[in-house]
Copies of this chain bind each other. A is one copy, B any other.
Amino acid sequence: MRMSELSRRSGVSVTTIKYYLREGLLPPGRQTSATQAEYDEAHLRRLRLIRALTGVRGLSVSTARQVLDAVAAYTGDPHILLGLVIGAIDVTGETEEASAPEGTAEVDALIAELGWNVHAGAPARAALAETITSLRSLGAPVDHTTLLPYARLAERTAALDLGQLDGIDDPLESAERALLLTVLLEPALLSLRRLAQQNESARRYGHG
């Protein structure tokens, strides 16, 4: 299809599509003349993913490209693929500073107690340590005991997540689905939590 049709079907303006092409976020079409290129269904699908990552998920264009490139470079190992998609493996290539964040030992102890098998360098470890440290500096200590029940609920959530990939044999489709159900489902889960808090507050304080 021509770029005009790609624009119409994706709902993304021609200007924005050209920007994504320049930034390497969208692979170039097949050149049919000096000024014309042909795009296919793969471009359409990728455009929708880009919109979801940058829109719903709020990623920067450069982070979105890194996530998509990582998925495209799929190695054939479902565990590695999922690691890339869910951010267990850092796609940004930013290496951690030599000095570990303050809450690191606490996070390590928590993971050991849970018996979780996770990468030592998983970005989520550092992110968790940073949040713990930040909450502590605000006088709201979040310790081990507080986090443990949350972690047990996270385990059950993760089992739901991974269960949704069952029965998908095609590795690329599985990767795409994993991306949607992990990164893109996050705002839905946060919304559910806020609604549930409101319900719990109404229950406790007796308001209608």
Contact = CB atoms under 8 A, between A and B. Distances in A.
Given A122-B198, A198-B122, A199-B158, A52 B190 contact: no
B78 A205 contact: yes
Contact of A155 (B83, B200, B201): B200
Q: Which residue among A160, A185, A208 has the maximum number of chain B CB atoms within 10 Å of its CB? A: A185
A187 interface: yes
A147 B192 contact: yes
Interface in A93-146: 111, 114, 116-119, 122, 124-125, 127-128, 130-132, 134-135, 137-140, 142, 146
A82 interface: yes
A201 B83 contact: yes
Interface stretch (A13-21, A29-37, A65-73, A175-183): A175-183
Query: Within the oligomer, what is the number of copies of this chain?
Result: 2
A1 interface: no
Contacts of A83: 198, 201
Interface residues of A, number: 81
A2 interface: no
A42 interface: no
A55 interface: yes
A208 B131 contact: no
A8 interface: no
Given A79-B207, A197-B158, A188 B122 contact: no
Nearest to A48: B138
Contacts of A192: 124, 128, 147, 150-151, 154
Given A138-B180, A142-B185, 5 more contacts: A48-B138, A82-B201, A117-B198, A131-B185, A151-B196
17 contacts: A77-B207, A79-B206, A86-B198, A88-B197, A122-B194, A124-B190, A127-B187, A132-B188, A138-B184, A150-B192, A153-B153, A153-B156, A153-B157, A154-B195, A155-B200, A162-B201, A190-B190
